[in-house]
Every structure is written in C-alpha cells, then in structure tokens.
Amino acid sequence: MTDVAVEGFRRTHVAMVATAAVALGLLAFAADSVAGVVGQVLIALTSSGFAWGLAAFLAGRSAATGKRAVGGATALLVFATLLYYLLVLMVSRRWSGGTLEDGTPADLLGLRSVAIMTALWLTGSLVAGTILGRLGHIVRVGKASTSALAAGAVCGLLSGEGWQAVMLAPPWQLLTVPDPHQAEFFRGVVIAELIKIVLPIVVLAWLATAHRLWRVWPMLLTAAISSGALSATLWYLLYAAANGI
C-alpha cells in the first residue's frame, strides 16, 4: 500500500470517527427529551453502554493498526461525551432552575453534578475506548481462536448493562405492576433491558459469521459469559458510585 493510500485511509477513519462522535452525542441528547416507552427504547439504542460501546468497537475494528484502533475508539467516546454534556450545559440547562429547602437557587449544585458526571464518563470513555478499540482490532486481524475470544468478550461487555438491569429489576416483576400508569413506564424499561441484551448477541452472531468463528463456538460462549458477568458487576458498581455522589 502506498503512502498516499495509507494517508487517505487514515483521513477516512478520522472523518468517520468524528462523524460518529457528533452523531452519538446529538442522538443521546435528543433521546433524553422523548418520554414514555419510545423514550426508553431510544435511550437504549442511542444513550446506553451498548450503543456507545458498539460505536467504539466498530471504530477499532475499522482501523488499520492497533494504535489507531485504540486512539480512534477513545477519541470517539471522549468527544461524544463532551458534546453531550456541552448540550446539557448550554441547551437543555436541566441543571438550572431548582431550589434548595431554604428557597435559595440550586444552580451551583446542578453545575457541580454536571461537572462530576462529565469527569466520571470521560474517565469511563478512556478506559472503555482503550479496551473496545483493541478488541475491535483483534477481532479483525487475529487468528480464529484469538478473534473468537475478543468477539465473545465484546458481546459480554456490551450486554453487561442490560444484565445488571435485569438482575436489579427482573422483567417478570416489572410486567405485573397493577398501576396502569406505572405499567406503561415499566414496559418501556423491560423493552430497553431486552434491547441491551439481545442486540449484543446479534452483534456476536454477525461477528462469528463475518470472521468464520463458529467452529470455535466454545471460546465465543465462554468469553461472552465471563465478560458479561464482569461487565454487569462493573456497571452495578458504576451506578452505585454515581448515585452516591
């Protein structure tokens, strides 16, 4: 491959990452304003660990080298996070307008919350981008056994948020709520939970077919289950830390 071709491929990858980052940030922000079941579904599709993790993985999978895979995936998540919270800060301004018990404005506390959450998710972006970008590159260039382990790990990581939600709020309990107003909300929660679990499995099936990994399916399954359990635990700890701030 000539230097011109390499440079062209690099620029195409950078443009793709930048476009994906802008789209991800805008879609996640827009999904916040949609209420009801549709809103729950849109959040699962655009503003979840699955959606953002898949974008980072695909950025890594499309890169020419391991270094660019990690850099592209990390940059995508970082810039999408910055764009999302910039929109929250400047456009929706949902941090403002509240009051404390004594009647004084709670804007400073709201800004503090936005700053903390931005820092938290930026840190997560650095970690997740590094891992998912590397896994994406391994899936594309690795041997069958290595690619299978990486693909299985990706499936587990992408589904971890959904498994964590199911463990905390089992669908069979949410669907039996007697209150009709709550029932509609919980139906959306259940659909969102299922999306976060089923779609990573679809991604795994696609990767196994595209890279001819079905012959090493035990590795796929083992890696998916192991990383899924780990991911669910990490999501639980992350949400616990965020709620405790």
Q: What's the pLDDT tens digit per position in 10-69?
A: 788 889 999 999 999 999 999 988 988 899 999 999 999 999 999 999 999 999 899 999
**For the whole model, what pTM was predicted?**
0.89
User: What is the C-alpha separation between 18 and 85, in angstroms, rounded?
Assistant: 17
Exposure letters 72-95 (e unless 16+ CB within 10 A, then b): bbbbbbbbbbbbbbebbbeeeeeb
Residue whose entry in the numeric block shows the structure tokens 């899936």: 139
The Cβ of residue 161 has, within 10 Å, a number of other Cβ atoms equal to 27
pLDDT tens-digit profile of 176-235?
Answer: 777 777 777 788 889 999 999 999 999 999 999 999 999 999 999 999 999 999 999 999
Determine the pLDDT at residue 60.
Answer: 95
What residues contact 244, with CB distance under 8 A and at least 6 apart? none
